[in-house]
Structure 1
Amino acid sequence: MKILIDNASSHTAKLTKNFLDVEGLGLLPHQPFSPDLAPCDFWLFPKLKIYPQGNDFNTLRALGAGLYHYFKSIPGEEYRNLFYKWVERLKLCVSAGGDYFE
């Protein structure tokens, strides 16, 4: 299994690297930042903005539990489609020479 992480200090810390090595998780090289290429920006964050609307959360724990159940309820097929959509976006970026694309 491979995992994609960015260069945040928490992701590049020795403790994190040791954990990934022990668990046998390989790393995918991270592309330069672009909201068009970051799955969090084009898939996750829009869902995070929509979910809490119309719901009343009294505590952070309640919000966290609600989000956990929300993301667990998303069918695996949607997560697979996200991966394929990400790959297509990466290909568009390469074909555009790294320039902006739609």
Structure 2
Amino acid sequence: MIEYFDRGAIVTSSLCAEVMKKMRNEIRKKRQGKLEKVLLFHQDNASAHRSAIAVAAIRDAGFEILKHSPYSLSLAPSNFFLFPRLKENVKEQRFEDNAAVVAAVQEFLGAQDEEFFKKIILSYKKFILKVYYNKCDYVEK
């Protein structure tokens, strides 16, 4: 599931809660009764994401929230693993409008095979375990 927002849109706790509900519904549709384990959820440390409303929505959706290391700023999954690859793909391109940006992102993601996403998830898992074994203290990439 990918959620796009207009340029300048403000991400509020209510918006985060709405996206959590959509994500849970998408996962339920895709997994169709195969969802037996608790899903772990990790996000960046933005205040809208940490608000009581957003945290309640995350838990209501059935996710277990992974603790965020207060000193490791680069732990946001998308920032740490996906965005660098996406940015490399679109560097030096000029986009006429938001629709062109969305199209470029969709084209990039659609061109990736399952192995691409598996590598990202495994790299992220390895890094999170490093943080965990370091007792959530700061670690370098």
State if a TM-score over 0.5 links the two structures. yes
Paired residue for 1:52? 90
Q: Flag as ranges the 4+ runs of structure 1 deviating above 6 A.
A: none
Counterpart-to-counterpart distance in 2, 1:34 and 1:15: 23
Alpha-carbon offset, residue 4 of structure 1:
0.5
Paired residue for 1:85? 123
Alpha-carbon offset, residue 99 of structure 1:
7.1
Provide closer, same or farther for how the CA distance between residues 10 and 49 of structure 1 changes in structure 2, counting only shifts above 3 A.
Answer: same
* C-alpha contact (below 8 Å) 1:4/1:28 kept by paired residues: yes
Identity %: 22
* C-alpha contact (below 8 Å) 2:69/2:138 kept by paired residues: no
TM-score (structure 1 length as normaliser): 0.68
Alpha-carbon offset, residue 89 of structure 1:
3.2
1:1-102 correspondence runs (5 A): 1-32=39-70, 33-35=72-74, 39-53=77-91, 55-91=93-129, 94=133
Gaps of 5+ in 1: none
Q: CA RMSD in A?
A: 2.9
Gaps of 5+ in 2: 1-38
Provide closer, same or farther for how the CA distance between residues 6 and 100 of structure 1 changes in structure 2, counting only shifts above 3 A.
Answer: closer
Alpha-carbon offset, residue 86 of structure 1:
2.4
Q: Deviations over 1:36-66 (max 9, x none)?
A: x554444223223222236442101220232
Counterpart-to-counterpart distance in 2, 1:91 and 1:2: 13
